[in-house]
Structure 1
Amino acid sequence: MRTPLFRDPSLSHARPRRAHHSPRPPSANPFRPLIPSTMPLSRRAPLSRRATVIPAPIVVSPSTIFDGNDGSWSTFSINVGTPPQPFRLLPSTEGSETWVISPGGCTSADPANCPDTRGISPANGRASPGFLANQSSSYQANGLYDLGLEKGLRLKGNGEYGFDVVGLNGGNGSAGGISLDNQIIASTPAADYWLGLFGLGVRPTSFTSSGKNKNSFVQSLKAQNLIPSVAYGYTAGAKYQNGGTLGNLVLGGYDNSRIKRPISLPMTQAPDRALRAGVQSIITSGDLLGQTRSFTATIGGYFAVVDSSVPHIWMPRPICDQFEEAFGLTYDPLSDLYLINDTSHATLQKNNPIITFKIGGQSFDDGNSTSIALPYGAFDLQIGYPVYLPTQNYFPIRRAANDSQLTLGRTFLTGAYLIVDPERQNFTLGPAVFGNPLPKQQIVSIRSPTSNSSKSPSGISTGAIIGIAVGVVLLLALVAAAFFWRRKKQQNKRKSIAAAELSAAERARHESGKPDYTDGGAGAVEMGASSENTRHELAVPQTPGTAGFYAERKDTPHSFASELPTPRPVFEMMGDVPIAGGVSGTTTPRFGGSSPGLTPTGSSPDLGAGRGGRRR
């Protein structure tokens, strides 16, 4: 396997490919909305000559299309390769790579509109089957790897990794856009990710255990002085609001007009659970009978990760059971989804219950929270091929098998606005603002802590933050030194007493070599040598741009990468009652499990691994 190509650090201020994202004059207040420059893009000075100027945030243009086979999601147009091949992707708050669908993602056995449903746009005036690496003059192949995202949610897939040009807002294809070369690209046909993803994270990727880290796209934008920081603001958009409100994505800042009643929360030190928030309560304003009820009154609140990579809201089983009863849902063990019949669907559309999530830093109500209210339209989704034929109404909640699966997915972000600031290790949540028309944009820049006169979103200056941090560190160092000196002295005294008082029976036990099974504390667990926790090399986050920040090592591809093709099951249902029949023993449902009441139709092979691979 060839070592990946890494960008030369000396090119950090190199002139970007083709169009430039031009900086705007810095504001005296870094969080005041900046007035766009009226100077034509073609006349602005190259960034390499104005490296000291703090750039403005980038507002990423959404596509005008709502995509998805499991809901209607606002996608963003991203160009890949030279000449550019356009794709409609979903922002991923959990990932840091750009994933596009490969030609193997749609086959002759799939519906004719398969490429369009997977966000593959026509390229160069012709229909495209997916990313064609051999037609990009700037593509550099790297190899087949495990995608590695969402392992805790049992999602799998491999990707053919390489490096190529990635463009935003028409970049690498039209004036005024932004594009960067030598960026990480994964081409995948995995059905678990029906649409490709555009990673917003800053975790570098390493393809070899000894190789250097490869920056994410957002980190590369910051390194080339195209955005003021690696922070971002995002709301997923809502098809159910005002005939369809598109998503809002700002790199290096946020849109202040789209968020209200925000609450700031600390990011955790776990790279794959950094955006963890407390779900303090879930209340509906009405069920099938129009009654108000609390779904958390019995078991209380819990912690969940905000993750736009997946569509569903993963909840504790007792809460899912209450939703099932309140809204007349039917759990399908084969797909692990909640379906809803026509009668319940019509009643809920008429009643339009509001489901409110109270979010805070704790799992209980500590008086510091914000409320995200989602109308029934946020949960009124349809799921079709390759999971069901014909398309079924379903309710996007899932049963979490354990605490690590508790997730606030994309459905939640249709009604919430999220601001993430990795450099200050905090994130902000608040209700998303809607309107017809939408309020005028108020783009606020979030400067990097290393920038002069920068402030944190909470209003505390960087200097104050550093001063407080230094003072705390010095105080902790003094306390720790005193504590360890005293502890050492007491330990020496206890050892001398213990040596004299150790009984003969105790000596025999120690000399026998048998382990002493002493409880290491509540919840203490020792992992065996067969553990597969190999991806996250660092336990503590470091400053973005350093060699080890959230370092992620790519794993080898799943074993199904080289297996023979097998039929992709599609579950055909008539109304509310499954067609009688059995599932063929040679097929495996997309979500696993088995049910005698569902019959697979069609025989579409699923290249769920990577190029040339097949998913079993």
Structure 2
Amino acid sequence: MWGLIFLSFVVAAVGKQNLAIQWSQRIYGPDGPWNAITVSVGGNESYYDISTAQTKVDLLPGGAWECLVLAPDVCDSYSDSQCGRGGFWTPAEDEFSYQIAIEAGWGDGTPYESGDNDPYIIQAISVYANNADGNFTTYNASLATIKNATIVNPDGSTRGPELGFFSLGNQQTHQTFTTAPNEPSVLTNIMIGGLYNNGDIPSYSFGLHSGSAALGYPGSLVLGGYDKSRMIGPITTFTHDAQYSLTLLDIGIGVETGASPFSFTDKSGLLTLNNSKTGQLNVGVDPQMPYFHLPDKTCQALAKVLPIEFDNTLKYYLWKTSDPSFQKIINSPAYLSLTFPPATGESDNVIIKVPFSLLNLTLDIGITDTPTPYFPCLDTSTSSNPGDYRLGRAFLQAAFFGANLRLNSAWIAQAPGPGTTKNGLGNADYEDLDDSDQFPDPTAIVSDTGAFNRSWTGYWTPLPVDSNGSSSADHSSSTGGSSGLSTGAKAGIGVGVAVGGILLIAAAVGAFLLARRRRNQRDSKSELADTGRHYDAKYAGAPVQPMQQSTPSELHAPELLSGPNQVHEMPAQSHHPVYG
């Protein structure tokens, strides 16, 4: 019977509360820009100020087991690139630390190729909160120092990673390593699980909104709770599993207010499977991945109605910036809609709206030589992982994602725009998620139907409509790529044209007679009526704020791994490229 080395320090907790993690002032890419958080890693002594033995690094939220931190060696082959901008960590030897003689592998289906010599280091990791003083530390945390990782772009070119990942946890609060036969197993702390077991946070949970780095809108990550100012109801709920998977029912296009920049007011039926049929799709919510990782047929369907085209060199969908509709679309209240099933016990589907301004992202150094606007839709499923579709950081710019990991429950909701405070619906409003709560209290979720529109005031400009309330162009609702006109509607148009022609003739005769009579009147004068268009003030909008420029870069981490067993045998190395 193997023994078990349980590395754990007991530190007195001052009381349970949610922790709103501090975000970095730097932003990353090269296919974003993206927001990141700042943490401190290293050391393992609990009897003095741990911060004196730690190194600060930036990490992207995402992952399920160990936190991934870059070592300087990872950029040896990319010394002239953006590699390592988030910071490096070289673990110091510590009497209380422990190194596991197993190399950290990235696992199958991950977005980069991994080399060897990436050891697990059992030391401390600390976070800093906006709503609490001091640092909050998990000792004997499961950390991996990444010395070998190569990100493979869709075109086959490679780049070094920019920063690592901060694990969001899974059903287990610990990770167990089996090193060798007849050797004791090693039990380490998953970061958030350690805070929960230590009594720092009220539940083993998180609430995440990635924000928009391009708009200067920071993210929100709350451990043990959520920020009510980043969530608009209703929510849709689903069971937490290895992929945080839920059902995507449809994809469409709509306009929140004002006229449409398209030849239609709304369109549905754009979720197209790779067999060219429309239908629902199982997708994972995965902040480790950058794009809308969807069937390519769906990306193609979107390219038929948006000014985007697939670039055969870069292998991305690029915005056609010279198209007259491009600026109208990205600056207007138009959005991409994703439809999900209702929450348990509810009847209405939940629609998440992603404004197109958030989908005008930038490819930069590491992928292109010059900044290039692109649309983040990409099919990255492979023959070994067919049907592996995910909604990544591009989606989480406009969606709120939360989970109570102990209860295997998760939810998503509409996230607001930046608002006047750059914090969504107003000042931060942090709420605990109790240990027994599967989901947030419905009474704590804003359900005002106008909240989303107001939160985007100043960041989009509604297009003007005619004085009669209709848009200045003929618009219709449609499904997929069809015109949206039924046979009956077309017949009705034909009858209308005929009747309209008769009325025009009658009007012309009347106008001729009236004009002749006026010419016979003495000192008659003709007046030109003011036919200029006047628009309601509510459609005037506010100036669109310019996008911030950056030279970001990124790292992608392993897919979410979770399962019923505590014992975690480390995966073998993976050497097949998956785009990131």
Superposition TM-score, scaled by structure 2 size: 0.64
Question: Which residue pairs with 1:443 in the alignment?
Answer: 430
Partner SS for 1:70: coil
Counterpart among 408, 414, 439 of residue 457 in structure 1: 439
Per-residue CA deviation, residues 412-456 of structure 1 (Å, 9 max, x unaligned), is 11111112012222112111134212323322212223xxxxx54
Q: Which residue of 2 aligns with 1:237?
A: 211
- Provide the rounded CA distance (Å) in 1 between the counterparts of 2:310 and 2:575: 31
1:200 aligns with 2:168: yes
Question: Counterparts of 1:245 and 1:552 in 2: how far apart (Å)?
Answer: 37
Match of 2:227 among 231, 255, 260: 255
Number of the residue aligned with 1:553: 569
8 Å CA contact retained: 1:361, 1:368: yes
> What amino acid does structure 1 have at the position aligned with 2:337?
T
Aligned-partner SS, 1:321: helix
- Equivalent runs, 1:109-508 vs 2, <5 Å: 109-111=78-80, 114-116=83-85, 119-120=86-87, 130-134=88-92, 139-143=97-101, 145-148=103-106, 151-152=108-109, 154-158=111-115, 159-169=118-128, 176-188=134-146, 189-192=148-151, 194-202=162-170, 203=172, 204-208=174-178, 211-240=185-214, 243-268=215-240, 271-273=241-243, 275-285=244-254, 289-291=262-264, 292-294=266-268, 295-296=270-271, 299-332=278-311, 336-344=315-323, 345-346=326-327, 348-351=329-332, 353-360=334-341, 367-401=347-381, 404-434=387-417, 435-437=419-421, 438=423, 439-449=426-436, 455-457=437-439
Match of 2:544 in 1: none
Aligned to 2:483: none
Report the Cα offset of residue 90 of structure 1.
Answer: 0.8
Which residue number corresponds to residue 102 of structure 1?
71
The answer to whether structure 1 residue 79 and structure 2 residue 40 are counterparts is yes
Looking at structure 1, the residues matched to 574 and 377 of structure 2 have their Cα atoms a distance apart, in angstroms, of: 28
How big is each residue's C-alpha offset from its partner over 1:505-556, in whole Å with a ceiling of 9 and x where there is no partner?
A: xxxxxxxxxxxxxxxxxxxxxxxxxxxxxx9795xx4xxxxxx35x532124
Q: Is the contact between residue 295 and residue 389 of structure 2 (CA under 8 Å) also seen in structure 1? A: yes
8 Å CA contact retained: 1:263, 1:369:
no
In the alignment, residue 63 of structure 1 is paired with which amino acid?
S
Say what the alpha-carbon RMSD is for the aligned residues: 3.5
**What code does the residue aligned with 1:220 have?**
G
Residue 398 of structure 1: how far off its partner (Å) = 1.0
Work out the CA distance in 2 between the residues paired with 1:64 and 1:399.
31
Contact 1:157/1:558 (<8 A) preserved: yes
Offset at residue 6 of structure 1 (A) = 3.5
Q: SS where residue 330 of structure 2 aligns?
A: helix
SS class of match (1:218): helix
Q: Can you list the C-alpha shifts for 1:453-492, whole angstroms capped at 9, x where unaligned?
A: xx543669xxxxxxxxxxxxxxxxxxxxxxxxxxxxxxxx
CA distance in 2, matches of 1:154, 1:217: 23
| Paired amino acid for 1:106 | C
Contact 2:291 2:394 in 1 (8 A): yes
Partner of 1:611: none
CA deviations 1:345-400 (Å, max 9, x no partner) are: 545435563111122269xxx94322211111211111223222233222111115
Pair 1:197–1:378, CA change in 2 (3 A): same
User: What are the Cα deviations for residues 26-65 of structure 1, in whole angstroms up to 9, with x where unaligned?
Assistant: xxxxxxxxxxxxxxxxxxxxxxxxxxxxx11111111122
Larger radius of gyration: 2
Query: Which whole-Å CA distance do the structure 2 matches of 1:296 and 1:236 have between them?
Result: 24
Moved more, 377-386 or 328-337: 328-337
Letter in 2 for 1:251: L
- 1:44-55 equivalences in 2 (<5 Å): 55=16
Q: Do the aligned partners of residues 220 and 320 (structure 1) sit closer, same or farther apart at CA in structure 2, a change above 3 Å counting?
A: same
Query: What percent identity do the matched residue pairs reach?
Result: 19
Give the residue type in structure 1 aligned to 2:283. Answer: A
Structure 2 spans left out of the alignment, 5+ residues? 44-52, 152-160, 443-559
For the residue of structure 2 that corresponds to 1:418, the secondary structure is: strand
The 1-side partners of 2:217 and 2:561 are apart by: 37
Query: Deviations for 1:191-230, whole angstroms, at most 9, x for unmatched residues?
Result: 3354210011134433327735433111111111111110
Q: Secondary structure at the match of 1:405?
A: coil
Tell me the SS of whatever aligns to 2:304. helix
1:311 partner amino acid: P
CA 1:393–1:183: 2 relative to 1, 3 Å? same
Aligned-partner Cα distance in 2 for 1:89–1:393: 24
Alpha-carbon distance between aligned partners in 1 of 2:366 and 2:195, rounded to the nearest angstrom: 36
Give the superposition deviation at 1:164: 1.3
Q: 1:215 to 1:370 in 2, by over 3 A?
A: same
Q: In 2, distance between residues paired with 1:350 and 1:180?
A: 44
The alpha-carbon distance between structure 1 residues 266 and 115, as it changes in their structure 2 partners (threshold 3 A), is closer
Conserved in 2, the CA contact under 8 Å of 1:283 and 1:293?
Answer: yes
Whether the 8 Å contact between 2:236 and 2:412 is mirrored in structure 1 is yes
Cα offset, 1:157, TM superposition: 2.3
1:66 equivalenced with 2:27 (yes/no): yes
- CA shift in 2, pair 1:369/1:65, >3 Å: farther
User: Does the aligned pair in 2 maintain the 1:146–1:157 contact within 8 Å?
Assistant: no
Task: For 1:165, give the aligned amino acid.
Answer: A
- Please name the residue that 2:11 is paired with: 15
Conserved 8 A contact 1:60-1:76: yes
Note if 1:57 corresponds to 2:18: yes
Distance 1:255 1:590, change over 3 A: closer
Secondary structure, in 3 states, of the residue corresponding to 2:407?
A: coil
Matched residue, 1:88: 58
- 1:73 to 1:4, Cα distance in 2 relative to 1, 3 A: farther
Q: Distance in 2 between matches of 1:341 and 1:232?
A: 38
Hey, what's the Cα distance between the residues in 1 that align with 2:133 and 2:226? 24
Q: Which amino acid aligns with 2:431?
A: V
Instruction: Report if the CA contact (8 A) 1:537-1:553 is conserved.
Output: no
SS of structure 2 residue aligned to 1:411: helix
Mapped contact 1:141–1:163 kept (Cα < 8 A): yes
Q: Post-superposition shift, 1:156?
A: 3.3
CA distance in 1, matches of 2:414, 2:205: 19
Go from structure 1 to structure 2 and tell me whether the alpha carbon gap of 1:22 and 1:334 turns closer, same or farther (over 3 Å shift). Answer: farther
- Distance in 2, Cα, partners of 1:194 & 1:113: 6
Q: Which moved more, 1:153-162 or 1:311-320?
A: 153-162
| Counterpart Cα distance in 2 of 1:162 and 1:79 | 14
The answer to whether the 8 Å contact 2:249/2:341 transfers is: yes
| Inter-partner Cα distance in structure 1 for 2:4 and 2:372 | 44
Tell me the CA shift for residue 266 of structure 1: 2.8
Deviates more, 1:347-356 or 1:433-442: 347-356
SS of the residue 1:322 aligns to: helix
Q: Which moved more, 1:353-362 or 1:309-318?
A: 353-362
Q: Which digits, 9 at most, give the CA deviation of each residue in 1:246-301, with x for residues without a partner?
A: 11111111112221213242315xx422x212212211137974534321386022
SS at match of 2:251: strand
Cα separation, partners in 2 of 1:5 and 1:185, compared to 1, 3 Å: farther
1:506 maps to what in 2? none
Structure 2 counterpart SS, 1:343: coil
* 1:104 counterpart letter in structure 2: D
Paired residues of 2:317 and 2:375 also in contact (CA < 8 A): yes
Provide the rounded CA distance (Å) in 1 between the counterparts of 2:102 and 2:309. Answer: 39
Match of 2:434, SS state, is coil
> What per-residue deviation string (whole Å, max 9, x for no partner) do you get for residues 551-572 of structure 1?
5321243479xxxxxxxxxxxx
